[in-house]
Every structure is written in structure tokens, then in C-alpha cells.
Amino acid sequence: MNSKIYYTLTDESPFLATQSLLPIVRGFARSASIDVETKNISLPARILAAFADKLPAGTLFAGVPVNDDLAFLGKLTLDKSANIIKLPNISASVPQLKAAIAELQKNGYGVPDYPDAPATEEEKAIRARYDKVKGSAVNPVLRQGNSDRRAPNAVKNYARKNPHSNGTWNNSVKTHVSSMQADDFYGNEKSITLAKADTFKIEFVAADGSVTELRPAKPLLEGEILDATVMRMASLEKFIAEQMADAKAKGVLFSVHLKATMMKVSDPVMFGAFVRVFLKDVFAKYADLFGELGIDANNGLADLYKRLEGSACEAEVRAAIDAALAKGPDLAMVDSSKGITNLHVPSDVIIDASMPAMIRNSGCMWNKEGKLQEVKAVIPDRCYAGIYDETIQFCKENGAFDPKTMGTVPNVGLMAQGAEEYGSHDKTFVAKGKGVIRAVDAQGSVLLEQPVEKGDIFRMCQTKDAPVRDWVKLAVTRARVSNTPAIFWLDPARAHDREIQKKVEAYLPEHDLTGLSIKIMSPREAIRETMTRVKQGLDTIGVTGNVMRDYLTDLFPILEVGTSAKMLSIVPLMAGGGLFETGAGGSAPKQVQQFLAENYLRWDSLGEYFALVPAFEQVATLTGNQKAKVLADALDSANGKILEFNRTPARKIGELDNRGSHFYLAMYWARALADQKDDAELSAKFAPVAQALEAGEKEIVAALAKEQGQPADIGGYYVPKADLLKKWMRPVQAFNQVIDSL
């Protein structure tokens, strides 16, 4: 088998960090005859791949021909030798997508504009291609296995010795979660398990009886779970208005928490509802103008303001918007200094990052004066809102969590083969009128249906049987290996979870459960028990579905170790290979902004360091390459030194940044290889490398620090220039010469 690791090129600060880290990784890997090959799955690369047939032959991007690298990696996940390092990528909202398109066009790439309201067949075809690029385009392709995500012992021990603050909590805190009590996805869900293989298509039956096919027939497997639900837009808008009034009466900030990136069809529409309700009178008064300007509330206030620029009514409309916002409750701010609110950009406030950050800040977010203030956190749908409500109530009753003493919450997540809502994009529709949206099998029988009114959001999702069986197996394996109690988070009041629970109860007896503590609990009960145990210093494995996996693997790591970027995230692919995910990218945009302004990158590559260890171990296991195992052990030792001596990036200029952390990784890794006794050849090779780096430590670290404090022009946000990236990310020749000599 190949001794090859595929390393993904992605976006924003992880992409910047790769320019510095990858030469180090490649140099060390070569010593074990391991090829580290890059595959570009960044947002601009995905856009170009979508239109490759429209571009001139031989078009290059990032120095290589335009290829569909995501499709390549998707096929690779079905190979037992797959070994993929996957860094965080942009799950693009429409504003992000448009910005990337504009930058590509500026750089001479002939990709078409994004059609907001496609009218012609050509425009509809263009829109269809772009719709495959936006939102969660990457994860459903690569995640052909379930998730095993946990804090490495070294990270947990460091957090205990160097605890961060989780704020101050007591019963007087007014922060709370508000959710709909009816007519949301949770309340309307229907779910079935297929007794035999079939196909299904999705149709809209209008009130007049006419039938429109929304999605052509696709296969269903035996044992597959199929769900259908709907969010009633009229009820959502009424709920938003009620919560606005309640926030104003209580004197708390109003904030909306959605995931308009991963849930690229449903959540932007819900986000748009918040914008429309906040500006109800403005949208009514200027309906004709907004139609002419192509203003779409789903894209947020920032896009609205941009489209107003130059209009004869710009000042008048801005004044009307200001008056409408002043009449409502105070909005939580993304950037108080720039006046950027919670409603400016749909991808600015992402629930899995924003809620834990709020909880760490004593239940507060920033107000327009740049001060922390208590919050009404509005999470319209009840499917997962309860876990945040319980967390806030627990903190009010028991005080903030203490990183010095709290236990840990690893997660085993069901995510293979587009499981659950994150695979719903091609089965989510906004109703064009009153009628019924239904799933129909090959015989014409209705499998599931939902009545809809115009504007309602219909969503179907699928969960295949094989991933559930694999998920149960992984949960039992992790519980036994770590000797840790495990809880399946399943809600008996939710239709989908009832079907999942039947499978879990059927598959658990396939395993030896002797001596294990494995429970099934509703999410509210599960998080309450988990937090009680965490407070006592006890560990608990959360065994959850796909969305909850995403939310919890930010929530608990942020409370436990201060960040989710330092987690070890292993996806044992069902075909036998491995996908190794690195950290989380929620703060990447702010870090890029700081880098451009100050040439200081605070992205922490610790997730990459940790992911590389099992990637090298897999090479050793599959190929018998013992040098790969030596590399892995040495890297594991180096990672411990990074934490022991606090060589991770700080937050402000004058301190160690991402590039400095990479230097120390190289130095510690080389020293560990030089000192190990298992491979004399590697020891001899890396002894002079370690000596050179140790001798040059003060000079190199000082030179890296000297680079800070000046603007860094990389030639573009989405499409930076290779020569400028090298200039800024590898600025010290004394260091480069040692690494390049490998």
C-alpha cells in the first residue's frame, strides 16, 4: 500500500498556517518515505471545480490544474488505505460565496456571477452548480465514518494547570434561551424506517391539485430512516415578534443563534425571517425599491446596506432602518466598534461557537457600547435548543465550571453517509404556495407528507442503517477502551430519535457489555447528568447524532480546555481508512483580519499536530513502515513539550504566534527523533537538525517576532498570492534553510 497522507488545503487562517507548517511536515515525513500530497478543497477551489468545463484548458489554481479534489477525496474515503488530514474549511453562506466569486473574477477566472433570482435555464443551471458549493459541501463527502472526538490527555492536563475563566454565574443572571413551543421542526417531525429497499421522489401538490416534482427519484436502502418535517413561517415570525418584545421588557440583548453555513437551505431562510421582522415596516414601505435592488433579507443587513449604496433613497432608507432597530430590543453585536450586529451576516453568529462563548462570558454578549450584557438567546427550533437551556440553568444553580477540576466529555458522533439533518440540503424546500409536500415511493404510495403554506420550510433527512450499527460499535469500543460510562442522547418525544433508539436497542446486544455503563437518555436528561458528573470531576462519553455531535464538541471543549481547536478528532472510515480532522475554524475570519492588520497569526495548529500522530500511526499499521511509528511517537513527545512549555500562539503582537509555534514543533520533534533508540538512521539524520534549531532558537524566534506589527498584504482573502504567502508565512531564512534541507 501507499505510504501517502493527503493534506487538505482549505481557507482563512488554517490555510495561512499551512504555508508555514506543511514544509515542516513534508520534510520530516520524507525521512520515513511518506509522501504528503495536498488536495485543495478551499471555497475558491470548489467554485472553480464546479465550472471546470467552462474554463480554458490547463487553467491553474494555486499552481496546479483545476481539479475536483473534493470528489477525488470522496472516492478515496471508500479505499481502506485512505489517510486524510482535513483542516477546517468555509461552509459558505451566500455573502461569502459572492465575495469569493468576485475575487476569483478579479484574478481573471471566468466564473459566472451568482444569480440571486435565476430566470433563464442557463441561470438556473449556474445557480444549481453554486448551490452544491455553498454551505456544508465538504463534510458530507468526506465523513464516510463516524466521529471519535476527545481532548488529548496533554491538552486536558495543561488546562488543569493553566485554567481559563468560565465567567461568574448565579441565580440572578437573566440570560436565557427562547424557543418555539409549536410549529417548529421538532414539533412537526414524522419518521419511518424502510422495511425494504425502494426509491422516493419529493413532490409539491398545490391546493389546485397540480403536482410539481421537487426532487427526482433516489434510492432508499432497507432499514433506512426517513424523516419529514416543516417549520411554519407564520408561526416563526409571530414567535420572533414576541421575543423582541420580551427582550426589550427584560432589558437583555437579543441574539439569534443558527447555523446558516452547515444548514445552507433552512437556516438562512430563518435568519432572513429575523431581519424581516426587525425591519417589518421598512420592508413594507420600500418593497418596490428592495425588489429593484435585489435585496434578500436572508443575506442580512450588511448585504442590504451594500445594495443601497448609491441609491437616491439610501439616506432615507438607512434612517428608517436605524429607527426600526432603535424601536426594538438592543441587538447583540459581532463587532461593536464597527456597528456590526447579530443580524448583519448570516454566517457571523454560528450556534456551536457562539453559545459556548456566551456561556464562558457569564452568559453575556457584547452590546453596542462594547460592554458585556446579559442575553436572550433565540434558538427557534427545539431539536437541540434544550441542551443550551439546561447548561445555562445548571450554571445558574451550580456556578461556573472549573477547568482545574472538571471531568471531560468525549463524543462518539453519528455522521457517516450524510446522516441526519446535515445531509438534508437536497431535500429542503421553501414552499411556493399552499399545498402538501410529500415523499412518494416507486409504486406511487405516499411515504411521508407535510401540509405547507407559502414560505414554510420543508425538510427531509435520511439516516442509513449501516452507519447506525457502526456508531453503536464505536461507542461500545470507546467505552471499553477508556473505561468510561457512555450515554446515548435520544429524545423519546422526537419522531426521528424514536426510530434511532429502536436500532440502538437492537444493536447493543451484538456486543459484550459486561462491566460497561451504557444508558439511553433524552438530551435534557443526558446533559444534566453529564454536567453533574463533570462538576464532580468524572468523565462521560456523549453518544450523539450528527448535529448534537457538532454542538457538543464545541460546548464541552470550550468549557474544559478553553477552545475546540485542540481536540483530537478521528473518523474511522467505514471502509477501513482514516480521516483525521483538526480543530474548529469558528474564529478564523477574525484571526485573518488581525493577521492582515498586524502580521500576527494566532491560529493554533495544535489540532494539526495531534491529527498527524494517528495519521503516521495508520501508515505504520497498514504498511509495516516502522519509521512512520517512530515519527508518530516523536511527534507525540513534541506535542507534549509544546503544551508543557506553552509554545502555542498567544493573542497579541510581541508574543509567540502561529509561525513561532511551528518553529518549536520542529525543534522538539527533531530532538525527540534524535534521542529515540528505535531507529538509528532517523536518530543520525535528525541529530544535526535538532542541534541547528536549538542553536538558532533565540535568533529565529526573535526574527519571527520582529516581523510582527506591520500590515501583511497577501494579495487577497480568498485567493491570496503564493509568493506573498511565502514571504509572510516563512519570513526567516535561517529556519527555512534547516527545514528545506530535509
- Please tell me the distance from the alpha carbon of residue 424 to that of residue 436, in angstroms, as a whole number: 18
Can you give the pLDDT at residue 309? 94
- Please tell me the distance from the alpha carbon of residue 91 to that of residue 546, in angstroms, as a whole number: 16
Nearest alpha-carbon partner for 605 in 231, 27, 87: 87
pLDDT by residue (tens digit) across 320-332?
Answer: 999 999 999 999 9
- Please tell me the distance from the alpha carbon of residue 105 to that of residue 99, in angstroms, as a whole number: 10
Q: Are strands 225-231 and 457-463 parallel, antiparallel or unpaired?
A: antiparallel
CB proximity list for 68: less than 8 A, separation 6 or greater? 49, 52
Name the H helices within 58-120.
69-76, 94-106
- Please tell me the distance from the alpha carbon of residue 43 to that of residue 45, in angstroms, as a whole number: 5
Can you give the pLDDT at residue 62? 85
Is the domain defined by 186-231+420-461 classed in CATH 2.120.10?
Answer: no
What would the mean pLDDT of 708-725 be, rounded to a whole number? 95
What would the mean pLDDT of 436-457 be, rounded to a whole number? 97
Question: pLDDT band at 578, cuts 50/70/90?
Answer: very high
- Please tell me the distance from the alpha carbon of residue 624 to that of residue 574, in angstroms, as a whole number: 21
- Look at 168-172, 209-213, 258-262, 401-405 and tell me which has the smallest mean pLDDT: 258-262
* pLDDT > 60? residue 2: no
Can you give the pLDDT at residue 1? 46
* pLDDT > 50? residue 174: yes
pLDDT by residue (tens digit) across 397-414?
Answer: 999 999 999 999 999 999
Can you give the pLDDT at residue 348? 85
* pLDDT > 70? residue 377: yes
Q: Say whether 694 sits in a helix, a strand or coil.
A: helix
Question: pLDDT band at 5, cuts 50/70/90?
Answer: very high
**What would the grid cell of residue 352 be?**
456551536
* pLDDT > 50? residue 495: yes
Nearest alpha-carbon partner for 421 in 461, 456, 380: 461
Nearest alpha-carbon partner for 238 in 189, 183, 293: 183
**What would the grid cell of residue 668 be?**
522538539
Would you say 565 and 160 are in contact if contact means Cβ atoms under 8 Å apart? no
Longest dimension (CA), the chain: 81
Distances (CA, A) of 68 to 4, 51, 103, 576: 19, 10, 19, 23
CA–CA–CA angle 380, 384, 385 (5° rounding): 50
What values do phi and psi take at 372, rounded to 5?
-75, 140
**Exposed, middle or buried by CB within 10 Å (0-12, 13-18, 19+), for 737?**
exposed
- Please tell me the distance from the alpha carbon of residue 12 to that of residue 145, in angstroms, as a whole number: 26
* pLDDT > 60? residue 705: yes
Residue by residue, what is the 3-state secondary structure of 318-377?
HHHHHHHHHHCCCECEEEHHHCEECCCCCCCCEHHHHHHHHHHCCCEEECCCCCEEEEEE
Can you give the pLDDT at residue 585? 58
Question: pLDDT band at 58, cuts 50/70/90?
Answer: confident
**What would the grid cell of residue 118 be?**
435565476
Q: What is the DSSP string of 402-430?
A: -TTT-----EEE--TTT-GGGG-GGGEEE
What would the mean pLDDT of 554-583 be, rounded to a whole number? 91
* pLDDT > 80? residue 583: no
CB proximity list for 684: less than 8 A, separation 6 or greater? none
What would the mean pLDDT of 26-39 be, rounded to a whole number? 97
What would the mean pLDDT of 359-372 be, rounded to a whole number? 96
Helix axes 546-561, 523-535, angle to 10 degrees: 20
Nearest alpha-carbon partner for 326 in 283, 257, 279: 279
What would the mean pLDDT of 562-569 be, rounded to a whole number? 85
What would the mean pLDDT of 710-725 be, rounded to a whole number? 95
* pLDDT > 80? residue 95: yes
pLDDT > 70 fraction of the chain, expressed in percent and rounded: 99
What would the mean pLDDT of 237-249 be, rounded to a whole number? 98
Bridge partners for 373 per DSSP: 365
**Exposed, middle or buried by CB within 10 Å (0-12, 13-18, 19+), for 278?**
buried
Q: Which amino acid is at 524?
A: R
pLDDT > 90 fraction of the chain, expressed in percent and rounded: 88
What would the mean pLDDT of 48-54 be, rounded to a whole number? 94
Q: Say whether 306 sits in a helix, a strand or coil.
A: helix
Q: Where in the chain is the domain with CATH 2.60.40?
A: 186-231+420-461
Can you give the pLDDT at residue 549? 93
**Average pLDDT across the chain, whole number:** 94
What would the mean pLDDT of 143-170 be, rounded to a whole number? 92
CA 46 to chain centre: 17
From start to end of 207-300, where are the E strands? 211-220, 225-231, 253-256
Would you say 342 and 332 are in contact if contact means Cβ atoms under 8 Å apart? yes
Nearest alpha-carbon partner for 154 in 578, 676, 607: 607
pLDDT by residue (tens digit) across 623-632?
Answer: 999 999 999 9
* pLDDT > 90? residue 568: no
